[in-house]
Structure 1
């Protein structure tokens, strides 16, 4: 299992639209094959910055999601709201808090 972290920055006027999209689509993303967790975070000091954390069973599952119509539609709606280029990392979780 690995974690995908995506940093996104939005124009203030677009934050409400982004959070609406996330709320509408999160259950479908979470139900994608291999997705074990999806969470959204907002930066405490800059409310225009958001992070998604998603846990995936393996890289193939993430790639299948990224090639799906679901992802393409969500990305099409979301990318026009950005005020900066998004950044993404795939990381291995080393220590569990449990």
Structure 2
């Protein structure tokens, strides 16, 4: 399993735009081939910071999504709202206890 975490920070006036864009597209992203999980988190101490957390079957599946029209549309709207550079981590899931 391939895990992708993206940290994004927005100015207060852009948070609703980001949340609306996420709401509009979250099911399409989750339904994308190879995506097994999509979650959105908000930092408890800084409400301008958000994280997406997603599981992908493989790095190739994530890359296929990143080349898609869906990603280009979502990311174009999202990146215009940032107040600082986003950060992203790609991880191999080694273990999970539920």
Task: Report if TM-score (shorter chain) is over 0.5.
Answer: yes
* TM-score of Structure 1 vs Structure 2, range by shorter chain: over 0.9
Name the CA distance, whole Å, in 2 between partners of 1:24 and 1:46.
24
Structure 2 match to 1:7: 7
Residues 1-98 of structure 1: matches in 2 within 5 Å?
A: 1-98=1-98
Q: TM-score, normalised by structure 2?
A: 0.97
Name the CA distance, whole Å, in 2 between partners of 1:8 and 1:29.
17
Name the CA distance, whole Å, in 2 between partners of 1:71 and 1:92.
22
Name the CA distance, whole Å, in 2 between partners of 1:40 and 1:97.
20
Give the aligned length. Answer: 98
Name the CA distance, whole Å, in 2 between partners of 1:79 and 1:6.
12
Name the CA distance, whole Å, in 1 between partners of 2:40 and 2:55.
12
Q: Which runs of 5+ in 1 are unaligned?
A: none
Q: Which runs of 5+ in 2 are unaligned?
A: none
Name the CA distance, whole Å, in 2 between partners of 1:58 and 1:93.
11
Name the CA distance, whole Å, in 1 between partners of 2:56 and 2:87.
18
* Runs of 4+, deviation exceeding 2 Å: none
